[in-house]
Structure 1
Amino acid sequence: MQAVAKPLFSDPIYDGAADPVIVYHKKEKKWFMLYTNRRATNAQAEGVTWVHGTRIGIAESSDGGTTWTYRDTANINYRPVAAYTHWAPDVIEHDGTYHMYLTYVPGIFTDWNHPRHIIHLTSQDLFNWDYQSTLPLVNDKVIDANVFRLPDGTWRLWYNNERDGKSIYYADSKDLYQWQDKGRAIKARGEGPKVFQWKGQYWMIIDAWKGLQVYSSPDLLTWKPQEERLLEEPGQGKDDQAIGGHPDVVVNNGKAYLFYFTHPGRAKANPSPASSVNAKRSVIQLAELQYQNGKLTTDRDKPTYIHLKPGK
């Protein structure tokens, strides 16, 4: 078995892959990665328009996650305005249908001062997506959904409330369609929450912009922060010498794999000019999580071997 390359994946269109989510395609019998495709190579972009106007990229792996190739962009059938932005998909499969919870921004903007909502879409093939609803969450500035099935069979969605100091909020649903907002889950600055179960407890990892902050919970309601952050210190591998951002975690065959993104041009040791293409580009990386003395750790410089078993 070969170790994964660094970087794991670079988008060939805009070189701006970020915010990955990994899901098994049952019909094609492959693992798919859906991701935010920032327009990093747009050198003429004004302000932050390069992170707007994005489509969700799709990559695939036929070897259990070791190598990834670009496949397409998602055909999302929700276009109420001509210019639109798609960010940070979360995708799950339930009873033969794929569900995506996507951050939708109604335009291409030069700054961050505009609405964003989380919408629900469904698909039978991971490529073509039909709009179901806009979730009735706490306000008009919410991003980065993550959905997890609770022990009683219902569902919980965590997200980032940008109007409350970038805190993490949550909502509950019995059927994935009707959602009730429940308020704040964690008062902490961060985004891109990812919840998973591993080693006998629940975990949440959020992007704190200075490494990944880890929380643990016995009940998915009370969250205890871990002192040490993940991926805060630079790695040595290619394009891996900057902090890790907005991850997905895949628990498979007893192991936990951390898919994250980096901005290679923002390495602490040698940062590129902020407005340069090199500072904007981003890539997907992979490291295996370790569990030791009740805490999560990862060594981004250790060779990573992965062979994901097919999803159920």
Structure 2
Amino acid sequence: MTTPQSALPEQTPSPSAMERLDIRADKVRKTLGTRIASVTAIVIAVLWTIPTVGLLVTSFRPQADIKRSGWWTWFTDFTSTTDNYVEVLTGSRYQLSTFFVNSIVITLPAVVIPITLALLAAYAFAWIDFKGRNILFVAVFALQVVPLQVALIPLLTQYVKWDLNGTFWTVWLSHSIFALPLAIFLLHNFMKEIPRELVEAARVDGAGHVKIFFQVLMPLLVPAIASFAIFQFLWVWNDLLVALTFAGGDQNVAPLTVRVAELSGTRGQAWYLLSAGAFVSMVVPVIVFLALQRYFVRGLLAGSVKG
């Protein structure tokens, strides 16, 4: 009795030797491509880190050694001192500790103010239907391409008229104004990705805008808020242009970046202190970024893709 042809199990044809060779070649190329990318990333990271390592090593070297040889010679003599940091932070001439406190006083409100205003504006653009909403949002988005340099002189003139010159308010307001367009855009995109069903369900339960904003949306906005907070913190802490324009002439208001810039201008007399002052300036943003980096990319990419 013969078995019908249709009843015979289908057999997958085995790949030829050439096809197997192509498959192996593809696997090798993918493996090598991954390894090459990893090695390239490691090399770039090492090259990027070398200046920071040199700055750190130089900041702990004695004045005579800094003037006599390069920082890489430290690995052979291991001569270290903390006198540079002591003189920079507590010395009567430089007093970087005062400017360090000024930077903290400037940075924290300059982060909180734009985030607070941007959250309210982003919610309005995302979930409140009002006349001219789209046109106004496009206008806010377009403000991102306006260079902040064009607003420095008009703002400074207005601050003088308001008698705010020489106070922290000038720096707080300036950083908040320059940060608002980007903050509104990022938070708006994140809010638009939140399922509409959540908001509609809250409305059915009788929740108003305030309750929806604080109880429904805010817990979901933590990654986006943290991301922009990191971005704004790094920008304000490392800023020199805005600080030099609005607070550079007053020691009681000027941040750390202004003092380090002045220190670099006198490097002929205090070259050995420049590395210590620069490292003091960069250690806080490095700590903040490393501690919260998991929020950074996730929050910035939120709303850029669906799914």
Fold conserved between structures, TM > 0.5:
no
Q: TM-score range by the shorter chain?
A: under 0.3
Greater relative contact order structure (CA < 8 Å, 6+ sep): 2
* The structure with more radius of gyration: 2
Higher strand share: 1
TM-score (norm 1): 0.21
Higher helix share: 2
TM-score (norm 2): 0.21
